[in-house]
Structure 1
Amino acid sequence: MKNEWKLVFLLTLLGVIGVISIIPYQLAKLRENIKLDDSQLMMLTILGVLQNTFIVFVCTFLGIRLQKSTKLDIPHLRAWVSKTEQPPFSWRWLGIGIFVTLFSSLLIILLDMYVFMPNIDTKELDKQPPNWWQGLLAVFYGGITEEIMMRLFGMTLIIWILARVTRQKETNIHSVCYWIGIIGIAIFFGISHLPSVIGIFGELSLMLVLRTVVLNGILGIWFGYLYWKKGLEYAILSHMAADLFLHVLFPIILKVTF
């Protein structure tokens, strides 16, 4: 139990670092879309950090507790905090994770450029991309904090519920349960972005909903698969790579904003 709490606090700390790191990116978006003075922005920032710190702690605590009944794990960090022998780290799987992430990120950019954006009215949209360093800092929020919320908590919870409802034990949970958890939380992740889409576009159309769910869900499915098969660490590293591609490298190289 002591080691479990160590893991909870470690992941919470990492998640809060992600929350703090995204502040410059969020402030750039807020200044672009909402007219607030500096004191109001500061208050929103402080409240946001406190709220997200609590959410990250709860998601971490519950996710780690529910993992026991799902065969999902955080193998390397768990071994580190418990001072037990580290399981072999798979550089092969890390390479596969980053390669698939790169391919999927390119697919997302192409879909956005040639399928979704041509069918969305952007006449009044003045979208200024954040500075590259703001996108770089946001990598930690996406890679760590979002993975804690979406995969460690959300996906684990869905699989835990399905296993309980179908009375399956940890050792024989059917792969269908994992796939429902993977796809379900990927769709939820896309839907959770809809409020910010309304803030940017000023409306919510069918095309915008499809764009948001599809483009956010593509990589979410891959991260969920990595969490299932290899552990949360591989999902975190691949998610960080995706945000690096989408928010830093591609905007610089391809002159696109996502």
Structure 2
Amino acid sequence: MVKQKKWTMIICMTLFAFISCLIALPYTTAVLVPPPGVEITKTQLLITLIINITVQSFIAIIIGVYLGPKVGLKANIIRNWIYKDTNEKFNGRSVLYAILAGVAGTAILILIDYYVFMPQLEELAKYSAERKDISFLTGLSTIFQGGYAEEVMLRFGAMTFVVWLLSLIFKKNYA
């Protein structure tokens, strides 16, 4: 991938990380509380959070774009969206299975949280009771931030970096 294409991908992916933070603002605004003893307004804290997530995503994306192809991780589906230079597309059935598994996993975690942890942890039950006023749609707004920005940081950035380091240690070349 030529340098200009790499930077186009980096900018597009970083812009989406920034947008994902904006989409999650209704939830973030509802739950974010400045730490005790810190003189910062909620607006300043929100701006700092958005900048932090965007910059971390930017760094992770640079790592993924530059090191990924060296270890065989090429992100062809994203490349196809941006450049139309691969034939890689989402498999609709796989996406449906992933969504169903995500919904089932979330339901199981909510049930475990409600029936196992909340009765045991008084602070968790208190925190949950305080957050009852947050609507389902407001909570749903976090899907993009968690589903995109966090995955970019952990999978595209951190995982790629670890795989690249391991390839150096074990002298494997995947390119």
1:17 — aligned with what? 19
1:65 aligns with 2:66: yes
Deviations 1:94-116 (A, max 9, x none): 12211221222222122212332
- Rounded to whole Å, the distance in 1 between the matches of 2:61 and 2:19 is 14
- Any residues of structure 2 matched to 1:96-135 within 5 Å, and which? 96-122=97-123, 124-125=126-127, 126-129=129-132, 130-135=134-139
- Rounded to whole Å, the distance in 2 between the matches of 1:47 and 1:57 is 15
Amino acid at match of 1:96: Y
- Rounded to whole Å, the distance in 2 between the matches of 1:71 and 1:62 is 13
Deviations 1:138-172 (A, max 9, x none): 1111111111111111121122222221222227x
Deviations 1:185-204 (A, max 9, x none): xxxxxxxxxxxxxxxxxxxx
- Any residues of structure 2 matched to 1:43-62 within 5 Å, and which? 43-62=44-63
2:162 — aligned with what? 158
Which segment is superposed worse, 74-83 or 58-67? 74-83
**Once the 2 structures are TM-superposed, how far is the Cα of residue 27 of structure 1 from its aligned partner?**
1.7
**Once the 2 structures are TM-superposed, how far is the Cα of residue 14 of structure 1 from its aligned partner?**
0.4
2:77 — aligned with what? 76
In structure 2, relative to structure 1, the CA distance for the partners of 1:42 and 1:96 (3 Å cut) is same
How many percent identity over aligned positions? 25
Deviations 1:196-220 (A, max 9, x none): xxxxxxxxxxxxxxxxxxxxxxxxx
The TM-score normalised by the length of structure 2 is: 0.82
Higher relative contact order (CA 8 A, sep 6+): 2
**Once the 2 structures are TM-superposed, how far is the Cα of residue 6 of structure 1 from its aligned partner?**
0.9
- Rounded to whole Å, the distance in 2 between the matches of 1:47 and 1:89 is 34
1:140 aligns with 2:141: no
8 Å Cα contact 1:8-1:64 kept in structure 2: yes
**Once the 2 structures are TM-superposed, how far is the Cα of residue 124 of structure 1 from its aligned partner?**
4.7
1:26 — aligned with what? 28
- Rounded to whole Å, the distance in 2 between the matches of 1:45 and 1:149 is 19
8 Å Cα contact 2:17-2:145 kept in structure 1: yes
- Rounded to whole Å, the distance in 2 between the matches of 1:14 and 1:88 is 19
- Rounded to whole Å, the distance in 2 between the matches of 1:103 and 1:134 is 20
- Secondary structure of the 2:141 match is helix
Q: Which runs of 5+ in 1 are unaligned?
A: 172-258
Amino acid at match of 1:43: Q
In structure 2, relative to structure 1, the CA distance for the partners of 1:49 and 1:102 (3 Å cut) is closer
In structure 2, relative to structure 1, the CA distance for the partners of 1:10 and 1:3 (3 Å cut) is same
8 Å Cα contact 1:15-1:141 kept in structure 2: yes
1:220 — aligned with what? none
1:3 — aligned with what? 5
1:149 — aligned with what? 153
- Runs in 1 of length 4+ with deviation above 3 angstroms? 33-36, 122-126
1:225 — aligned with what? none
- Secondary structure of the 1:170 match is coil
Q: Which runs of 5+ in 2 are unaligned?
A: none
Give the length in aligned residue pairs.
168
Deviations 1:51-77 (A, max 9, x none): 322222111111211111222232122
